[in-house]
Amino acid sequence: MRRVLTAFLIALLTISLSGCGAGLNASTRNITQVTDGAEATITTDGNNIKVVNLLVVETAEGAGVLVGTLVNSKDQEDALLGVAINGQVATVTGTNALAKNTPVIFEGPSANAKAVVLVLGAKAGQSIQVSMFFARAGQVTVQALIRDQRDDYAGITA
């Protein structure tokens, strides 16, 4: 009887100490976004384009510079046709082709594209709409945060 009671006690302690008792509101179940950047995915009509960590940096001159990454996970290539930041058409330079698993990166050490509006019309800390237009996937619009030109974004210029 003592062995049965010991085995039952060990099983009870194992279950209760393993975290199974945390319930449906366990902190590991409540995943939150860990960056300031907005994220979106276009999966309609056989597309799979991910917009990752998208935000806008306000420069000292009042311009807006796009920061973020685009990734196409489908075999068929797509293309970024244009970007609108806060309702204004941005000047996009660099790579606009979205080949499979070849990211288009706006700003940073491995950047291969740039999108700028000369007059942002909003201030750091506010949230604005950024729309991206693709040849195959259509359009995606996200609410992006505006960051000021300091810390990680100090080197970003229009």
- Is 120:146 a contact under the CB 8 Å cutoff? yes
**38-153 has which CATH code?**
2.60.40.1890
d(CA 22, CA 2): 30
Rounded to two decimals, the pTM is 0.78
pLDDT tens-digit readout, 22-67: 666 666 666 666 677 899 999 988 899 999 999 999 999 999 999 9
Domain segments of the chain as ranges: 38-153
